[in-house]
Structure 1
Amino acid sequence: MRVMPIRYSSDVEAVTRFYRVLGLRAGPVSRPGSWVELPADGGVLAVHRGDAGRCELAFETDEALEDVAARLREAGFEPGAPADEGFGYSLRVRDPDGVWVQINQYDRELYT
């Protein structure tokens, strides 16, 4: 599993430029430009159009989401059902503090 924080911004282009200057690399961009991935040595920062300043913790996995969901349920955490998204599939689950965490399986052919 890879860590992928999602940074929301009203100006995806400006925030992308800032993090590129900081040292992150250019990665896949969605066709409409509302989503950008910026790879780094320790993971990927996703920049997404939305409420400026909001940040969400997400993970990218190659594991079947049904297997991740089963493991979470066995440990007493109740994830939502995997959802078909424009980028692949996603499931959401609350951590012990009640904060939503997103686990994604990406199909980059869908959005780049």
Structure 2
Amino acid sequence: MKVVPIRYSSDVAAMTRFYEALGLRVESKSRPGGWVELPAAGGMLAIHRSSGEDVGRCELAFEVGEPLEDVAARLRAAGFEPGPPMDEGFGHSLRVRDPDGVWVQLNLYDRDLYT
């Protein structure tokens, strides 16, 4: 499993330039330009376009390497109720609230969809 913090920004291009200046490099991006992925040694930073109160927010996500249904079953067995798997432009995802009530996103990528 890979840690994937998602940084929401009103200007994806400027934010991308900032993190490239820190030494990260773009690996994948959406065709319309709404998000980019910048891999690092221990995970990846994703930058997503947003507006309003989401700007500046950071969300914790994980890239999983197994069916989301298996992860959901483990979460339920531990007493946590995830939302349903969602079809996404990058593959599939599901969200679940952690014990503090904060959403955590789990992503199963199909890189052929956008790279």
Give the TM bin, normalised by the shorter chain. Answer: over 0.9
Superposition map of 1:18-37 within 5 A: 18-37=18-37
Between the aligned partners of 2:113 and 2:8, the Cα distance in structure 1 is: 21
Q: Alpha carbon RMSD of aligned pairs, Å?
A: 0.8
Moved over 4 A (4+): none
Q: How far off is 1:111 after superposition?
A: 2.2
Q: Does 1:55 align with 2:78?
A: no
Structure 2 gap segments, 5+ residues each: none
Q: Residue by residue, what CA displacement relative to the aligned partner does 1:49-105 show, whole Å, maximum 9, x if unpaired?
A: 013201110000111100000000000011011111111100100000000000000
1:82 paired residue number: 85
Q: Of the candidates 104, 108, 112, which is equivalent to residue 105 of structure 1? A: 108
Structure 1 gap segments, 5+ residues each: none
- Normalised TM-score (structure 2): 0.94
2:7 paired residue number: 7
1:70 paired residue number: 73
Q: Which SS does the other structure have where 1:39 is aligned?
A: strand
2:39 paired residue number: 39
Between the aligned partners of 2:34 and 2:14, the Cα distance in structure 1 is: 12
Letter in 2 for 1:42: G
Between the aligned partners of 2:77 and 2:71, the Cα distance in structure 1 is: 10
Q: Residue by residue, what CA displacement relative to the aligned partner does 1:18-60 show, whole Å, maximum 9, x if unpaired?
A: 0011111221011011110001111100001013201110000
Identity of aligned residues (%): 77
